[in-house]
Homo-oligomer: A and B are copies of this chain.
Amino acid sequence: MEKIYTGKTKDVYKMESGNICLKFKDDVTGKDGVFDPGENQVGLKIDGAGREALKITKFFYELLNDRGIKTHYLSANIDDNTMEVKNAHVFGEGLEAICRFRAVGSFIRRYGKYIEDGTPLDAYAEITLKDDERKDPLITDEALEMLGILTKDEYKTIISMTKEIAKIVKEVLAEKGLDLYDIKFEFARDDDGEIMLIDEISGGSMRVYKGDKKLSPLEIHSYLI
């Protein structure tokens, strides 16, 4: 296998079959040693975090595939910390799709003049550019089209899939007594140009509360495994 990308929480390999192998690492994003899925830096390393993220990702992707949602997921090998997925063509240099059930984080930093921190939101979805240097800026459908990153139809598809998938994750967490505040996803085109969900779905890509307490990724995982 040829390593084609070193990510913040995963390394990416090209397999001989043309599929992709994702190797999960024991890093989570955060700042000053505190976990924050909205941060771009790798803030801390936790033994076993990669395996747990993979277990959770496997669980959610198998559920999504069962529900007929188009994803990149093919199989997972927990012992190797690896997941086999379809080849993906990312949009531009990468987008993040965020679904928000509560007004927190960057939503409050932008719109705090109009809404109180923690206010419930009705599955609000938005797209940001993956760009650490420019702090993952928000972008509209019109700008995405003008920059040649997404068509307006693709934007609609991604927003719609984001809400649908986020609601499924929220339901699963609710069954464990947990409250999903927000979650981020990545999408890409497959070899046929169809849009599919890619990357992981784990505690590192969502903000989850139990009552008033914000849970760490490992705490989230402990409820799900």
Contacts and interface: CB of A to CB of B under 8 A. Distances in A.
Interface string A115-158: 10000011011100101011001111111001101000000000
A122 B129 CA distance: 21
Given A134-B112, A137-B110, A137-B111, A125 B142 contact: yes
A213 interface: no
Contact of A138 (B114, B115, B140): B140
A101 B137 CA distance: 20
B93 A113 contact: yes
Contacts of A138: 110, 137-140
Contacts of A159: 142
A111 B222 CA distance: 39
Contact of A143 (B93, B124, B129): B124
Nearest to A128: B110
Query: Interface residues of A toward B: which range?
Result: 20 to 34
A70 B159 CA distance: 33
Contacts of A149: 114
Given A110-B137, A111-B139, A124-B143, 14 more contacts: A109-B134, A111-B129, A111-B137, A113-B131, A114-B147, A114-B149, A115-B147, A124-B142, A124-B146, A126-B142, A126-B143, A137-B138, A138-B139, A138-B140
Interface of A: 92-93, 109-115, 121-122, 124-126, 129, 131, 133-134, 137-143, 146-147, 149, 159
12 contacts: A110-B129, A110-B139, A111-B147, A113-B129, A113-B131, A114-B129, A114-B147, A115-B147, A124-B146, A126-B142, A126-B143, A138-B138
